[in-house]
Structure 1
């Protein structure tokens, strides 16, 4: 079995049409058909159902397609890693982070790395936790900063700090003096993270509100913590944000109240590939870990 057999198989599996697949591969149809037959004979498994009307994957073919796609993703990751090793400490280093991390910390990290590795091009991306995990598994980033939990055999995670929660509100439109008064906010409009963007975080916020005895009226949603803070500042609702954000926001129009009665926290973690032992990655992790927020 050769890589070309797998590439030909994927092309047919994606198109489900031998003519279109052959055009995509820039070969004629008869050789393509022969390659697929050779592959099926070697595997001793029928991968496609073929007749005059259609081409479809068998159950074995569906399984094989999923595994081959994973194989090619791993090959791409290995190729990228090999290239980085050859470049030593030059080239590109990509860091993804969630928007609810205080930006000054990210700036300090880049300054630290730039002093050590002046010829490296550092790139930053604000990305949700779920997309960061996919990107790291596929070798598209070298390091991520996420809100746990994480379940991936390909990723190593380091707990950075545990973050609590704080109520955030516009001081002119909401008057609240203590946690004991939070229940009176049940009729207020809430601004939350979009559930598809941060499902675990969204569920935690609902759990928080349930602890204080109400279901929030979520009218506005956003995928960026700064957008949420701005909506609150504009009087369009109240929200619950990580205490890390509250501690670093000095806007006089916005009030923050840490929710101390509820014992709920989120783990903020650094993630890297389990196969990554580069100097840059070790330096980045080493710089951040002592800085417990």
Structure 2
């Protein structure tokens, strides 16, 4: 079995049409059909159901397609890693983070890595937790910074710090002097993260409000923490944000009340691929772990 057999198989599996698959591969149809027959004979399994009207994958073919696609993804990761080794760790190093944790520490991380690896092109991406996990599994990023939980057999996760929560409000519109007054916010308009974008985080915010005895009236949603804070500043409502945001926000128009009575936290974690044992990844993780919040 050769790689071309697998590439031809995937083309037919995708198009479910030998003529279109042959055009996509820039070959004629008869050689393509022969290659597929050779592949089926070698693995002793029928992969396609063929008739004059249509082409379909058999159950064996569906399984084979899934495994072959994963094989090619793995091969791509191997190729990228081999290239990095050959180039003495040059090329790109891609770091993803969620908007609610960006701070000067990440800038310091880039400066630290740039000093150690001057030929590497470092790239930063603001990406949701769910998409980071998928991207890391596919080898599209090298390091992720997320809010847990995480369930993936392909990923290593290390706790960076635990983050509490704070109510954020416009000081000119709302007067809150202490955590005792939080129940009085039940009639206020709330701005939350979109439930589909950050489902776990959204549920935690609902739990926080329930602890203080009310269900929030969520009118506005956003997928970016900075946008949420700006909406609060513009007087469109109040919100509950990670306390890390309060520590890094110096805007005099914005007020924060930390929610200390409720025992709810989110874990901010550093995630890497289990297949990645590169020195640059180890250096990045070790650097960040020095800065426990």
Shorter chain as denominator, the TM-score bin is over 0.9
Measured on the aligned residues, the alpha-carbon RMSD in Å equals: 1.4
1:1-293 paired onto structure 2 within 5 Å: 1-293=1-293
Stretch deviating more after TM superposition (227-236 or 172-181): 172-181
1:191-211 CA distance string (max 9 Å, x none): 111122212111211222222
Give, in whole Å, the separation in 2 of the partners of 1:82 and 1:93: 14
Q: Which consecutive segments of 4 or more residues in structure 1 shift more than 6 A?
A: none
Q: Give the distance between the partners of 1:288 and 1:214, measured in 2 at CA.
A: 37
Query: Deviation string for 1:231-251 (max 9, x for gaps)?
Result: 111011111111111111111
Shift of 1:215: 2.0
Question: 1:9, CA displacement in angstroms?
Answer: 1.1
Does the 8 Å contact 2:103/2:248 carry over to 1? no
1:165 CA displacement: 0.8
CA contact 1:189–1:236 (8 Å) conserved in 2: yes
Q: How far does residue 166 in structure 1 lie from its aligned partner after superposition?
A: 0.8
State the alpha-carbon separation in 1 of the partners of residues 5 and 238 from structure 2: 57
- What does the per-residue CA deviation read over 1:35-63, in whole Å, with 9 as the maximum and x for residues that have no partner? 22222222332222222222222222222
Residues 102 and 244 in structure 1, CA contact (< 8 A), matched pair in contact too: no
Runs of at least 5 residues in structure 2 that lack an aligned partner in the other structure? none
CA distance in 2, matches of 1:57, 1:206: 45
SS in 2 for 1:172: coil
Question: Could you tell me how far apart the structure 1 residues matched to 2:10 and 2:119 are?
Answer: 39
Pair 202,29 (structure 1): closer, same or farther in 2 beyond 3 Å: same
Post-superposition shift, 1:220? 1.3
Quick check: 80-89 or 276-285, which moved more? Answer: 276-285
Conserved? CA contact 2:13–2:65, under 8 Å: yes
- CA 1:210–1:41: 2 relative to 1, 3 Å: farther
1:171, distance to aligned residue in structure 2 (A): 1.3
3-state DSSP of counterpart to 2:195: coil
CA distance in 2, matches of 1:62, 1:187: 53
Stretch deviating more after TM superposition (107-116 or 206-215): 206-215
**Deviates most, 120-129 or 34-43:** 34-43
- Whether the 8 Å contact between 1:91 and 1:120 is mirrored in structure 2 is yes
Give the Å deviation of 1:103: 2.5
| Residue aligned with 1:219, SS | strand
Give deviations 1:228-286, integer Å, cap 9, x for gaps: 11011101111111111111111111111111111111111111122222221111111
Cα distance, 1:76 vs structure 2: 0.5
SS at match of 2:149: coil
- Count of residue pairs brought into register by the alignment: 293
Contact 1:193 1:221 in 2 (8 A): yes
Please state whether the residue corresponding to 1:100 is helix, strand or coil: helix
State the 1:175 CA deviation.
2.2
Instruction: Please report the TM-score for the alignment, with normalisation by the length of structure 1.
Output: 0.96
